[in-house]
A and B are shown apart, each in its own frame.
Chain A
Amino acid sequence: MTRQWDSDDALLAELHGATHRPGPPADAIRRAGHAAFRFRTAGTGRVIAGLTYDSALDGAGAVRGDEPGGRRALTFTAAEMSVEVELADGRVIGQLIPPVAAEVQLLTVTGSAGESTADSLGCFVLPRPGSGPARFKCVVGDQVVYTDWVSI
């Protein structure tokens, strides 16, 4: 496949085509990238639960799922725990699996948007913040589970 790139001129032309098309400004993408660094978490006991299911990425079903008054379901998975969340009208309903009592915080890029305590069944309810990036922080003993950011 790289054979067509044996010609220097063809390779440079393709490079030009890939980088000089009109599109979103590179500067804005770069700025967003640089700014993301301050949201990096670290430390012992810190675990990232990755997004493993998002009903908004589903087929036909999701078209209805995120309508006003509708619901969007998300699952975040780490080795020891998963976080299942439903975004409903005005609130966020979640459950930690396996069920465990925990302090749960909903974070946005401007800070905490709400805190709750997961009960012995792992269930929690939080107010739904305005649209934008959000993530959950669950403190279970000395472990801190952060979910992936999602756009809500």
Chain B
Amino acid sequence: MGAATTDVETLVSAACAGDEAAWQDLVDRYVPLVRSILMGFRLSAADAEDVSQMVWLRLVEHLDDLRQPRALPSWLATTTRNECYRLVKANQRSTPVDPTTGAVDSVAADESDEGLLARERKQALLAALAELDEAERGLLLLLAADPPLSYQEISRRTGRPPGSIGPTRGRLLRKLRSAPALRGLSMAGDDECAHGGERCDATVG
């Protein structure tokens, strides 16, 4: 797997059929999305790793239900968020607090300060990023570097001719914009439970 044209749907099918390389490619594509949700909860590195392990363990068994391209990022976001909530609550229980100060609430400083809209935008963007292959993602992230890298430097790092980088930049950004995750952003809530009805309703914290 990993050919430049492989899309998420193909990877999911291949992983379902037992192709480990396809699974690894899928994971690599969605690490930024999972990580962005973990960041919103300010977990320790160890807790974040535990949550991600749980999310991947569940995903590998639910892949067969998530063949629709838009179902996967929604499922990942919901599952990661639920595990984070659970862990934050568990940490609260093991943290001595003075109930009169309400200090425990600060542990739950989760994504609320970020704003729902900003959060959805970011997740849609990362879901769209996951639809690009590894080389495309790598190049796009170099182009997004801040402070910016010169095309010469990007050429040195990627082995692409400097003259090709400008046109490729335009092509990749068009591809990113046309990804289903960004085109459907205004309907982001509609398929939150696309993977299987009640299961998701019942586990949303």
Once the chains bind, are A29 and B49 in contact (CB under 8 Å)? yes
Once the chains bind, are A21 and B39 in contact (CB under 8 Å)? yes
**Residues A39 and B60 in contact in the complex (CB < 8 Å), given A12-B143, A52-B199:** yes
Once the chains bind, are B38 and A23 in contact (CB under 8 Å)? yes
Once the chains bind, are A26 and B32 in contact (CB under 8 Å)? yes
B54 neighbours in A (Cβ, 8 Å): 133, 149-151
How far does the Cβ of B111 sit from chain A's closest Cβ, in whole Å? Answer: 13
Interface of B is mostly: helix
Binds B, one of A61-69, A84-92, A93-101, A112-120: A61-69
**Residues A12 and B144 in contact in the complex (CB < 8 Å), given A23-B35, A34-B24:** yes
B92 neighbours in A (Cβ, 8 Å): 63
Once the chains bind, are A16 and B28 in contact (CB under 8 Å)? no
Once the chains bind, are A19 and B141 in contact (CB under 8 Å)? yes
Q: Which of A11, A41, A48, A146 contacts B177 (CB 8 A)?
A: A11
Once the chains bind, are B169 and A29 in contact (CB under 8 Å)? no
Once the chains bind, are A50 and B62 in contact (CB under 8 Å)? yes
Indicate whether A103 reaches chain B with its CB closer than 8 angstroms: no
**Residues A57 and B38 in contact in the complex (CB < 8 Å), given A8-B170, A15-B140, A18-B122:** no
Q: Which of A12, A32, A63, A77 contacts B199 (CB 8 A)?
A: A77
**Residues A15 and B141 in contact in the complex (CB < 8 Å), given A63-B93, A146-B61, A151-B86:** yes
Q: Which of B27, B126, B146, B185 contacts A20 (CB 8 A)?
A: B146
A56 neighbours in B (Cβ, 8 Å): 86, 89-90
Once the chains bind, are B144 and A16 in contact (CB under 8 Å)? yes
Question: CA A48 – CA B107 in complex, angstroms?
Answer: 33
Indicate whether B183 reaches chain A with its CB closer than 8 angstroms: yes
Once the chains bind, are A8 and B169 in contact (CB under 8 Å)? yes
A63 neighbours in B (Cβ, 8 Å): 89, 92-93
Q: Which of A18, A23, A33, A149 contacts B126 (CB 8 A)?
A: A18
Chain A's closest residue to B169 (CB) is: A8
Question: CA A75 – CA B198 in complex, angstroms?
Answer: 12
Indicate whether A25 reaches chain B with its CB closer than 8 angstroms: yes
A67 neighbours in B (Cβ, 8 Å): 93
Give 8 nearest A-B pairs by CB, closest first.
Answer: A33-B27, A24-B48, A23-B39, A36-B56, A16-B144, A32-B53, A149-B57, A52-B202
19 A-B pairs within 8 Å (CB atoms) are namely: A2-B185, A8-B170, A14-B121, A21-B39, A23-B39, A24-B49, A26-B35, A29-B38, A32-B56, A33-B28, A36-B57, A40-B23, A52-B199, A57-B85, A62-B89, A66-B89, A77-B198, A133-B57, A149-B58
